[in-house]
A and B are shown apart, each in its own frame.
Chain A
């Protein structure tokens, strides 16, 4: 075979999937985790998804029986799965698909095509057609061509079932909603033999965003993933650690309770645990104590606004104080720059500091606006620009009072 190497021929090969996209290979082998802490860290990484997900058995069974039933009966259908981010929606579906594919190998189920698309990985909703066709046939075409091919395909009888997973459904919704309509309309054709699994975050997306005819096609087979409570988060972390006992029990419990109070996001819990291991590692400790976890939690959940105020220059702090004084005086959140400047003048003369010029204070205001300690209007309004405090007045008092004590 002759090898043509002009860029154009290369591009055509990429289009027809004759060339697999690849990444440059590394020169040496990566280091293996050697210490138990490193081992634990690699297992705590979010990407290390376990074979079976703990605390999602019920949801797994629901999806599994639904899909298996559809596949065995060879008729199409839809299911809508919702839940806040990090509750294991995509991971559970992937696990179900894996189990179904195992059944095929065992010969207990007929073969099926599996196509997965993600709304966020598309540049625009219509690219969904291109992606689906690419995963079915390996060809790349424009979206119009892809749409026609798919339309034809689903209107003629095929022997194979197709499973279509649509992640981040809300990003496929446009004003006309033609893409979502088509994707959900195909399963209703008896010839298509298509099962569509849709995943999104909001529970009431079908009612709130989708049109009536789309909602009706989506059907009422729905499943909601509840945020993890602290017991479940604890179990997830424990199952990841398996035979590593360096983590104190109450340390895991603290992470679980903190995260479940905020979001119930499993990713967050795992990230905090991993950071705690890193902190313990940097202190060359063998086990992770409660202190390490507290440090990791405060690093990853707390906001740094008080810290930022503490590290501002003296005049920036006085300006913030002047802002809060002006807010208290007028009891209006929005402050004109010139009024804040007046307050600053009196604060400066009170402390016996030379009053800086308006230009200097405007620069300070701009700097604080860049940090988002303040929210400023466009600076073309000069001394009439409106400023909003983006920190609470209590934070300012707390941060500056502590400074004066030192």
Chain B
């Protein structure tokens, strides 16, 4: 039963729902836009802008899913998906657009002709169409800002030009996370773009029924995502979950428990702190998925401690963790670097300076076993490979490696914390770390 629960919850958390939460106004706007394009043959263009993880793709997918149930939309609309990371230049984008539109120069999945021929053919096709007779085409451009880097912005110019002239009806929807994307457009491309910008900001609850604060909404989401279908809504589970049939009684017990979790002060504080740092839903879902993964036959319930453990993965300092895995000699060198940086106020240093500082320390403390210079060099190189230090002006092969200058990429707090956490560090070393010089 618990394994089924885990399966169900993981699916619920990791797969973005088809039911889109909030942003009702923005959703309506795009929905209307697509509907009008298909029903009335009106050409449009719009940009969907929002930070990463704010649900841009989920929004579009949910709209397309809703429209796919409408007969007139399904039969008439041609949807062309282009992605800025996949279609890195206009040549690739055009080929794929031709393929997705199934034009006459595409046979199966192969597109014939050169780049110039493809462009002319596509433009001729769209020109031959008109408002009344041809199928409307919906272009969805993911990572829109990357399309702006293409040579001359030929693709964007042509798409927007078609949207603003009496040709086949098309609707261009771009998705991007850059707020200044309009500035990337060339002036004639910008003039042809309709300046319909739709912003999606996470934590915007202005359109929900009763006004609630953004954090309360997060708590609500927490409860919603971890709840099982109980007897009331067991029939409403979508068919994609049909292999997870959960006993309604177990479900209601579980849900009661989750409800009690939401009022737990430790957990609320934890969630509050996470919300303070990152408002995006994606990282929150990742966090929940990690907590849910701890469920097993032996571990039947989600304890507050599971969430605390999972949140550590998000808040811990990775560099301090890496420092704890170094040898004592390497830690000594790191401390020497810290001193060097502090004394000379962030000026870069080379191996010789660090070596001298270390030797001075090692000679003063008889308990520290001194090693030969090549060994210390080896340790230094190891630190360099872990990228705790950064060569100034790139690696210069002309300079001997002892005299290459480096910047120190750790703050003194990080070093101190690592020294504190390091188990079995000789006391001389930790004392040396505290004393300046």
Contact = CB atoms under 8 A, between A and B. Distances in A.
A356 interface: yes
B174 interface: no
Contact of A120 (B116, B158, B195, B204): B158
Q: Which of A7, A123, A168 has the most CB of B within 10 A?
A: A123
A179 to B, nearest CB: 14
Given A357-B315, A367-B51, A267 B191 contact: yes
A42 B280 CA distance: 39
Q: Chain B contact residues (Cβ within 8 angstroms of A): what range?
A: 35 or more
Interface in B105-126: 105, 107, 110, 112-113, 115-117, 119-121, 123-126
- Interface SS of B by simple majority: mixed
B130 to A, nearest CB: 9
Contacts of A341: 411
A303 B273 CA distance: 30
Contacts of A123: 90, 115-116, 119, 154
A205 interface: no
A11 B204 CA distance: 52
Interface string A313-342: 111000000000000000000000010010
Contacts of B194: 46, 271
Given A127-B116, A354-B273, A312 B279 contact: yes
Interface string B127-138: 011011111110
Interface string B375-418: 00000000000010010000000000000000101110010000
Contacts, number: 220
Contacts of B161: 120
B314 to A, nearest CB: 8
A354 B277 CA distance: 11
A14 interface: yes
Interface string A337-360: 010010000000000011011111
A304 B199 contact: yes
Nearest to A341: B411
B349 interface: no
A304 B116 contact: no
Nearest to A28: B72
A10 B111 CA distance: 12
A144 to B, nearest CB: 13
A312 B50 CA distance: 11
A42 B52 contact: no
Contacts of A221: none
A130 B123 CA distance: 15
Interface in A1-55: 7, 10-11, 14, 19-31, 33, 38, 41-42, 45-49
A382 B199 contact: no
A382 B110 contact: no
Contacts of B104: 10, 14, 19, 21-22
Nearest to A310: B201
B192 interface: yes
Interface in A162-206: 168, 171, 201
Interface in A260-306: 263, 265, 267-268, 271-272, 275, 278, 282, 299-301, 303-305
Nearest to A14: B105
B297 interface: no
Given A7-B110, A356-B277, A30 B120 contact: no
Interface of A: 7, 10-11, 14, 19-31, 33, 38, 41-42, 45-49, 84-86, 120-124, 127, 130-131, 134, 140, 168, 171, 201, 263, 265, 267-268, 271-272, 275, 278, 282, 299-301, 303-305, 307-308, 310-315, 338, 341, 353-354, 356-360, 363-364, 367, 370-373, 380-384, 390
Given A300-B195, A311-B279, A390-B180, 12 more contacts: A14-B104, A21-B104, A23-B101, A23-B137, A29-B132, A31-B40, A121-B158, A134-B120, A313-B275, A358-B411, A359-B318, A370-B52
